[in-house]
Amino acid sequence: MQSLFSGRYNRVKYFWTLLLVAVPLVVCVQLLPAEFAGEWTQPVLQIIGVAIASPILVKRLHDLDWPGLCCLLSFIPFIGLILGLILLFKKGTQGPNQYGAGPLAKA
Residue 2 or residue 56, greater confidence = 56
Domain ranges (residues) in the chain? 11-29+39-89
| pLDDT at residue 107 greater than cutoff 60 | no
**CA distances (Å), 26 to each of 72, 83, 91, in order?**
22, 22, 28
Q: What is the pLDDT of residues 7-30, one digit of tens each?
A: 899 999 999 998 998 888 777 777
| Residues 39, 24, 64: CA angle, nearest 5 degrees | 105
Confidence of residue 78 (pLDDT cuts 50, 70, 90): very high
For the chain, count helices (H), then strands (E): 3, 0
In terms of Cα–Cα distance, which of 61, 52, 57, 58 is closest to 92? Answer: 61
Global pTM?
Answer: 0.83
Number of C-beta neighbours around residue 99 at 10 A: 21
Q: What is the pLDDT of residue 86?
A: 95
Give the CB-side neighbour count of residue 5, counting CA atoms within 13 A. 11
Q: How far apart are CA 13 and CA 61, in angstroms?
A: 13
